[in-house]
Chains A and B, each alone.
Chain A
Amino acid sequence: MLRLNNIEVMYNNVILVLKGVSINIEEGKITTILGANGAGKTTTLKAISGVLRSERGEVTHGTIELAGERIDRMMGHDIVRKGVVQVFEGRRVFANLTCAENLIAGAHVEPSSAAMRQRMDMVFEYFPRIAERRHGRAGYLSGGEQQMLAIGRSLMSNPKVILLDEPSLGLAPLIIEEIFTIISRLNKEQGVTIGLVEQNANLALRISDFAYVMENGSIMMEGPAAQLLDNADIKEFYLGISEHGERKNYRDVKSYRRRKRWLS
C-alpha cells in the first residue's frame, strides 16, 4: 500500500535525519514504528504526509510510493486527496474552532456536504464524547478528548491510510486503552490501513500486525509484531523485562553487548 524505499530526509539542507529508511505499510494492516526520542519516527511520518516542507525539511533521496504512485514530490494537501492523512503528535486540534468545525475542516477534501455529514455521524458514533461536546471549543477539551477529536478529524477525509503519531502521549492509561481499542476497531471495521508511531511499545505491538524499530535515523529491526513481542532485545529495551521476567537495571547491561546485537 505505502512503500518507502531507502529515503533520506534533510532539514535545513544540513541535518540528515533519516539515513536510508525502507518501510512497507501493508493494506488493511496496522504497522508500528517503535523507537526512542529523536530516532526519526515523526520525521518518517511527516515525509509521507508531505508536511516536511513547512519545517524546511526535504526528502533528498529515495522514493515514497502509494499504491505504486510516487508521492514524495507532492504537496501535503494533495497527498490528503490521495487518501493519506496524518494525526500529529500532541493532538494539534484547532483550538479556537468548535469540535464540529474541526471535523468540517477535516473534511475539506470532501466536496459533497451530504457525504461530509454522513462521515461526521460515523465519527460521532465512534467517539460519543465528541458528539456531546460538538458545539464546545476544541481548546477546552481534555487531552484524551482532543486525541479522539484529532483521530475523528482525520477520518473525515475518508482516508485509506491514517498515520498516527504517538496517540498515547500525555494521556492517562485508561484513556490510552480506550483510544487503542478504537484504533483497532477502525482498522477492522472500516478497513483503514494504519501507520502507528509509538513509545508505548507493549500496547502498540499488541494491536499491530507488523513492526519496525528505528534508531538514529535508520531501521534496526523489523518483523511481525508477535515475533517482536517475543524478541529478547525488544523485551529488554522497550518492554523493560529481562529474560527471567524481572526488571533489569540498565547499569548492569554491558554496552558492547547491546551494540553488537543491534548492529547484527
Chain B
Amino acid sequence: MQPILKFLSAKFAWILLAAFIAFIVAEGGVGVLIKDWRFAVELAVDGVLTGLMYSLIAVGFVLIYKSTDAINFAQGEFVMIAAIVVAGCLDWFGLPLWLSILVGFGFMVVFGMTLERFVLRPMIGMNIVAIIMATIGLAFFLRGAGPLIFGAAPSTINLPIPDSPIVWGLLYLTPIKLLGAAVSILFLAGFGWFFLKTRKGVAMRAVADSHQVSMAMGINVERYFAVAWVTAGVVALLGGLAWGNMIGVDTQLALVGLKVFPVVILGGLDSIIGVIVGGIVVGLVEALTAGFVDPYVGGGMKDFAPYVLMVIMLMIRPYGIFGRRLIERI
C-alpha cells in the first residue's frame, strides 16, 4: 500500500496532466467521430489564431519580466486603457481612425514613461514583491480610472477590416484574427531577435538579472525600464485594437489580460518562443473545449480549461516549457 501511495503522490501531477490531455483528445476524437471532422479542424484553426492574439497581449508581459524582473499584473488593464482611449477619440471627438490610433500611441508612450518615472523608478532596488504589488494596485486603479474619465458605456473600435470570413479550402478564417495573429508573430520575432542578437537587448537582460550590477556596468537602468514599459504600452495598444474590434471596448476587455497567465506559465515567463507556443496551446484548449465539451456540460468550461492546464503545469514544470531554470549555487 505504502509504495503505491508514494508512487501516486510523486506522479500525481503527471497523472493529472495525462488525464487532462486524454480528456481533451478524447473529446476531440469523439467529436471527430460523432460530429464532423471539419468542425474539429475549424475549431483548431480558430483556436490557434485566437491563441496567437493572446500571445500579442502576453508579449508585453514577458517584455516587462525579461527586462525588469517584475510581474506586471496590469497588462490586461494596459490593453483596456489603450482601447478606451482610441474608442474615446473615435466616439467623442469624431477623429478619423488613423488619428485616433496615433493619439492612442502617443498616450501609451506618455503613459509608459509616466508610470516608470513616478511609480517604478522610486522602487528601484526594492524587493520585487513590492513592485509586483504596485502593479496590482495599478491594475485596480486603471480599471476604475478608465471608465471614470471616458465613461463606462461600452463602445467599439471599427477597423476597416471586412467581417466576412475568408474561405480557404475547407477553412473559414476571420480576417481580424488572421491580422492579429500575423502582427503577433511579427512582433514576437522582432523581440526575439532584439533580446538575443543586439547589444541593447543583452543589456536589457542584464538589467533584469541585477539592477545594481547593471548600473555598475554603466547601463542606465532607469532608461531601460522606461523603454520596457513604453514598449509594453505600445504592444498593449495593438492588443487593444485587435481585441477591441472583436469583443468591444469596456472594462471587460481587461479580463482578456487574465488569459496571459496560463499563456506565460505554460510557455515560460521569460521566453519569447514560449509566448507563441503557450498562446497556441491555450487557444487550442479553449476552442476545442468550447466546441466539444461545453455542449455537454452546459457551457462555461472553455473559460477555465486553460487555468486547469496552468495549475497542472505549475506542478510539473513551474518555469514553463521554455522558461529558464533558476540557477542556484549550493
Residues of A within 8 A of B (CB): 49-51, 53-56, 75-77, 80-81, 85-86, 88, 92, 94-97, 101-102, 104-109, 113, 116, 137, 139-140, 143, 153, 157
Chosen A-B contacts, 22 in total, with CB atoms closer than 8 Å, are A51-B215, A51-B216, A54-B212, A75-B215, A76-B216, A77-B220, A77-B221, A80-B217, A81-B218, A85-B217, A88-B212, A88-B216, A92-B210, A95-B209, A96-B208, A101-B202, A101-B205, A105-B205, A105-B214, A106-B217, A137-B327, A157-B218
CB < 8 Å A-B pair total: 88
Interface residues of B (CB under 8 A from A): 124-125, 199, 202-203, 205-206, 208-221, 324, 327, 329
Q: How far is the CA of A160 from the CA of B217 in the complex (A)?
A: 14
> Is there contact, CB below 8 Å, between B213 and A94?
yes
Chain B residues within 8 Å of A107, by CB: 199
From B209, B216, B217, contact of A96 by CB (8 A): B209
Q: Which residues of B contact A153 (CB under 8 A)?
A: 217
- Closest B residue to A150 using CB positions: B213
Residues of chain A contacted by B212 (CB below 8 angstroms): 51, 54-55, 88, 92
A157 to B, closest residue via Cβ: B218
Establish whether residues B216 and A86, one from each chain, have CB atoms under 8 Å apart when the complex forms: yes
Q: 3 closest Cβ contacts across the A-B interface? A: A80-B218, A139-B327, A105-B206
Q: State whether A85 and B216 are in contact (beta carbons under 8 Å apart), knowing that A95-B327, A105-B202 are contacts in the complex.
A: yes
A32–B174 CA distance with the chains assembled, in angstroms: 70
**Are A105 and B203 also in contact (CB < 8 A) when A76-B216, A92-B213 are?**
yes
Residue of A nearest to B213 (CB): A92
Closest to A103 in B: B202
Q: Give the complex CA separation of A137 and B325 in angstroms.
A: 11
* Contact present for A157 and B217 (CB under 8 Å): yes
Which residues of chain B are near A94, meaning CB under 8 Å?
205-206, 209-210, 213
User: Which chain A residues border B214 with CB–CB below 8 Å?
Assistant: 105
Q: State how many angstroms separate the Cβ of B130 from the closest Cβ of chain A.
A: 13
A97 B218 Cβ-Cβ under 8 A: no
- Closest Cβ neighbor of A86 among chain B residues: B216
The answer to whether A105 and B327 have CB atoms under 8 Å apart is: no
A54 with B124, Cβ < 8 A, contacts A77-B220, A108-B217, A109-B218 known: yes
Q: How far apart are the CA atoms of A81 and B215 in the complex, in Å?
A: 11
The interface residues of chain B lying within 8 Å CB-to-CB of A104 are 199, 202-203
Q: Is the CB of B218 within 8 A of A96?
A: no
Q: How far is the CA of A53 from the CA of B215 in the complex (A)?
A: 11
Select B216's contact among A49, A56, A113, beta carbons within 8 Å.
A49
**Taking CB as reference atom, which chain B residue is nearest A137?**
B327
Q: How far is the CB of B216 from chain A (nearest CB, A)?
A: 5
A225 to chain B, nearest CB (A): 26
Bound state CA distance, A153 and B215, in angstroms? 13
Decide: B216 and A108 in contact? CB cutoff 8 A. Answer: no
Across the interface, which residues of B come within 8 angstroms of A75, CB to CB? 215, 220
